[in-house]
Structure 1
Amino acid sequence: MSFLKDIIPPPGIVRLLAVSNLAKTCAHGVLMSISVLYFTRVVAIPAERVGLALTLGAAIGVLSSVPAGRLADVRGPRPVTVTLMVALGVAACGYALVDGFFGLVAATAVVLGIESAAHAARGSLLAGLLPSAERARALAFMRATANVGVSLGAVAGGLGLLMDTKAGYIGLILAAGALFVVSGLAFLRVPSVPAAPKAAAGPKLPVLRDRAFAAVSLVNAVLVMSDALLVVAMPIWISEHTSAPPAFFTVMLLVNTAAVILLQVRVSKGADDVPGGTKAWWRSGIVLAGCCVLFAVSEGQAVWLACAALLAGTLVHVLGEMLHSAGAWSLSYGLAPEHAHGQYQGLFEMSTKLGTTVAPLAITLVLVGLGGWGWVVCAAVFLAAGQAALPVVRWAERTRAEPVLETSNSES
């Protein structure tokens, strides 16, 4: 029973947040599993142009996060979050209306722009709902739930792929939109959080002048690129550089998903404040460098040895991934002023999107161009990022200063 406490969210606010996240990530799983085939087979957009459109749309969309976080801070995060999540559901349904390349760019920019805005607003809401000592554990439950949601969504999307009809694809797109709406409406069940007191003096967007926090966010952008090691690079690596069967990639994904569901909360223990989060990032860099070495060892080996190295690398990789996530939650909240959580979460979200957008192309080019030595380059990058976390976070801590706040907030 004690083990279940690390898997099932406790009743109350944390469980409501996890349910909301389950609906949201289930919608993501549906869209991730069907989007490329829908746009290539039904809308008849060439595959390479689909990838370009999704990248361009993502690059445009992330610009909304900081302004939306500011809006959540000054107007109150719950109504802003609910409104944006409902808008996200409506916008996602717009994918069914796309009829060409430019329409896909526009739809993706709108959807991801609203999603980035909603994530920043939700960050402000979580800061108001959860005491600082409880945030890391609550967010660990949310990440574990997210893996369940993505898996369920992918299964539903897979059923749609079996049907392979326009009506089936559109039905799944509309279902994903409805799940986003459900995710947003779930926040109506949590207590309202008042608007944050505004600073009596200083810029309205202090996060844009906070170079130390920007440096922390840059470290985050590098460490979050580790996701692409498994999802993007591994299918190419297995098929072109190892004797392992291509289907072994599915085993690796299942191991990754199961590990996050079962162990994320446990791994996050001790990372519930800034020192703990910093240590988690430092360890993450070392562990991710280790997984790169194990993946490199799989090249040119017998089938059983290649599979063993890949499986070991997967286990080490998911540990590094979980350590990064635990540290990210603690640092993004712990280094943000209490009156500006929304905009700080917005900038941190931008760094995450930057890393996930750049990673597929960067890591693929390194591995294709350098082969096994590409893993050495990746290991060095992750190791350097983890080591950089220590001085960068110390810099950020030295530059934290509590502003003078107004006694009343007319903007609320």
Structure 2
Amino acid sequence: MPVLLLATLINAFGNGAYLTTSVLFLTTVAGLSPAMIAIGLSAGAAAGVLAMTPLGYVADRYGPKRLSMLSMVVLAGAYTGLLAVHSVVPFALLSCLIAVATAMVKGANGALAAGGVPPGQRLAMRARMRTMSNAGIGLGTLAGSVPLLVHHDLAYVVVLLVNAATFLVAAVLLTRAPAVAPQVTPAGGPRLVALRDRPFLAFAALDGLLSSTYNDLLAIGLPLWLATGAHAPLWLISVALVINTAGCVLLQVRMTRGVHDLAAAGRSALRGSVVIALACGVFAATAGRAPWTAGALIVVAAVVHVLGELWLSTGSWGILFELAPPWAQGQYQGTYFAGRGLGDMVAPPLITACVLGLHAGGWLVLGLFFATGGLLYRPLTRWAGAQGSLSVPEAPLSTSR
């Protein structure tokens, strides 16, 4: 669906621009302290995790297209509402609203992508969406750097309003996307079936933790390592992030080739986890090296890392699409992203403790963590098959709402 891809690109551009300047906007324009910001964002994160699965269910029952459009309009209003925030309580409330609406968009767009194309094209569609998301965030980050140079309150306000406007533009674009019919659940079955699917819950928890951790390796682990352990310049952080973004944009769709079933998806996830473990080993090898040697190794580690990330993310999506019943794509997508939200809470302290507490040995611990986690994908997928997670219950469908 080209319209969904374009909407994803535009929305990601606004998000990238705002994330680049959000802290400065909240501190200089809104006048919030770092502690107030942390409280508000934590409240929002918790609200988003709790809302993921129920809102995914709502998207299934009432159609993901209109729920996604409604959520984008809400997000446009919520971000604009940040202009009136000057204390912690309104900020926390708006953060919760933003997180809940974002949860709805993720679940609804996942269901829209899954239901809008034939099953055999779902993985490629999801890869294209991630490509557009990475490209949009990259362009938005570049655009957001301009206000940082200007360093004026008005510039930060403009970025905020541009971000709000991208939600409205994306919502308008989605009016042209094909509608996915509302789904019905088997009569007599649980409404939130994803929360009773133990193999899937185990997968969502494992994948959420691994995915959040590999995302934070470059955003948190590498900066800490360059500041405390490796004798290499800090600008290598930008180099590593550029390599990661370019790799995701150029190679993500290619990595989906050959992943056509659950077994292949499990192998892709395992391969990606092992390759990321190797990247952690390369990061560890930079300890005590000369600056140019450490710098070269960090570039190598960044390349290895992005290859592992691409294989792991491809395998994750393949497992997700195979485990979710056709009538519950929204709530399974929501539960999957809830696992990612839980991972986002665990990964930062985990990486910080390893890198700052154990130094080079901490990278090896992280590598062992990825290798061990990767080995769990295949038994989890076999468990799912044995429990019948892949089949739709043989029962009459209920049309009741």
TM-score interval (norm. to shorter): over 0.9
Residue-by-residue CA offset, 1:297-328 (whole Å, 9 max, x unaligned): 11110011101110111011111111121112
Contact in 1 for aligned 2:281/2:364 (Cα 8 Å): yes
Match of 1:296 in 2: 284
| 1:349-364 paired onto structure 2 within 5 Å | 349-364=337-352
Q: Give the aligned residue type for 2:365.
A: V
Residue 244 of structure 2 corresponds to residue 256 of structure 1? yes
Residue 197 of structure 1 deviates from its aligned partner by 2.7
Contact in 1 for aligned 2:48/2:338 (Cα 8 Å): no
1:403 is aligned, of 377, 393, 397, to: 393
Query: Matched residues in 1 for 2:173 and 2:210: separation?
Result: 31
* Number of residue equivalences: 398
Residue 194 of structure 2 corresponds to residue 207 of structure 1? yes
Residue 44 of structure 1 deviates from its aligned partner by 3.2
Residue 298 of structure 2 corresponds to residue 310 of structure 1? yes
Query: Matched residues in 1 for 2:241 and 2:352: separation?
Result: 18
Q: Give the aligned residue type for 2:40.
A: A
Contact in 2 for aligned 1:27/1:175 (Cα 8 Å): yes
Residue 208 of structure 1 deviates from its aligned partner by 1.2
Residue 172 of structure 2 corresponds to residue 195 of structure 1? no
Further displaced range: 367-376 or 271-280: 271-280
Match of 2:61 in 1: 74
Residue-by-residue CA offset, 1:38-70 (whole Å, 9 max, x unaligned): 222333333354234323321222211111111
Q: Give the aligned residue type for 1:409.
A: T
SS at match of 2:182: coil
Contact in 2 for aligned 1:133/1:273 (Cα 8 Å): no
Residue 315 of structure 2 corresponds to residue 334 of structure 1? no
1:86 is aligned, of 65, 73, 77, to: 73
Contact in 2 for aligned 1:27/1:176 (Cα 8 Å): yes
Query: Matched residues in 2 for 1:185 and 1:385: separation?
Result: 41
**Please, which runs of 5 or more residues in structure 1 have no aligned partner?**
1-12
Residue 362 of structure 1 deviates from its aligned partner by 2.0
Match of 1:30 in 2: 17
1:41 is aligned, of 18, 28, 43, to: 28
Alpha-carbon RMSD? 1.6
| 1:273-284 paired onto structure 2 within 5 Å | 273-284=261-272
Q: Give the aligned residue type for 1:151.
A: G
Contact in 2 for aligned 1:66/1:117 (Cα 8 Å): no
Contact in 2 for aligned 1:281/1:389 (Cα 8 Å): yes
SS at match of 1:195: coil
Residue-by-residue CA offset, 1:164-189 (whole Å, 9 max, x unaligned): 22222112111101112222222211
Query: Matched residues in 1 for 2:183 and 2:319: separation?
Result: 20
Further displaced range: 226-235 or 93-102: 93-102
Match of 1:129 in 2: 116
Q: Which consecutive aligned stretches of 4+ in structure 1 deviate over 4 angstroms post-superposition?
A: none
Contact in 1 for aligned 2:268/2:311 (Cα 8 Å): yes
Match of 2:128 in 1: 141
Residue 407 of structure 1 deviates from its aligned partner by 5.4
Residue 193 of structure 2 corresponds to residue 231 of structure 1? no
Query: Matched residues in 1 for 2:10 and 2:111: separation?
Result: 20
Query: Matched residues in 2 for 1:147 and 1:75: separation?
Result: 29
Contact in 1 for aligned 2:187/2:398 (Cα 8 Å): no
Query: Matched residues in 2 for 1:99 and 1:148: separation?
Result: 33
Contact in 2 for aligned 1:135/1:272 (Cα 8 Å): no
Residue-by-residue CA offset, 1:116-170 (whole Å, 9 max, x unaligned): 1121122222221011111111111111111110011112211112222222211
Q: Give the aligned residue type for 1:217.
A: A
Q: CA distance change for structure 1 residues 57 and 407 in 2, over 3 Å: closer, same or farther?
A: closer
Contact in 2 for aligned 1:43/1:98 (Cα 8 Å): yes
Contact in 2 for aligned 1:197/1:406 (Cα 8 Å): no
Query: Matched residues in 2 for 1:232 and 1:349: separation?
Result: 21
Q: Give the aligned residue type for 2:104.
A: A
Match of 1:10 in 2: none
Q: Give the aligned residue type for 1:53.
A: G
Q: CA distance change for structure 1 residues 130 and 93 in 2, over 3 Å: closer, same or farther?
A: same
Contact in 2 for aligned 1:293/1:376 (Cα 8 Å): yes
Query: Matched residues in 1 for 2:347 and 2:28: separation?
Result: 26
Contact in 2 for aligned 1:288/1:320 (Cα 8 Å): yes
Match of 1:9 in 2: none
Q: Give the aligned residue type for 1:203.
A: P
Further displaced range: 68-77 or 94-103: 94-103
Residue 265 of structure 1 deviates from its aligned partner by 1.1
Query: Matched residues in 2 for 1:90 and 1:191: separation?
Result: 25
Residue 263 of structure 2 corresponds to residue 285 of structure 1? no
SS at match of 2:175: helix
Match of 1:378 in 2: 366
Contact in 2 for aligned 1:223/1:324 (Cα 8 Å): no
SS at match of 1:339: helix
Match of 1:267 in 2: 255
SS at match of 2:376: helix
**Please, which runs of 5 or more residues in structure 2 have no aligned partner?**
none
Q: CA distance change for structure 1 residues 286 and 364 in 2, over 3 Å: closer, same or farther?
A: same
TM-score of the two chains, using structure 2 as the length reference: 0.95
Q: Give the aligned residue type for 2:184.
A: P
Q: Give the aligned residue type for 1:370.
A: L
Q: Give the aligned residue type for 1:304.
A: W
Query: Matched residues in 2 for 1:55 and 1:361: separation?
Result: 14
Residue 410 of structure 1 deviates from its aligned partner by 4.5
Q: CA distance change for structure 1 residues 342 and 251 in 2, over 3 Å: closer, same or farther?
A: same
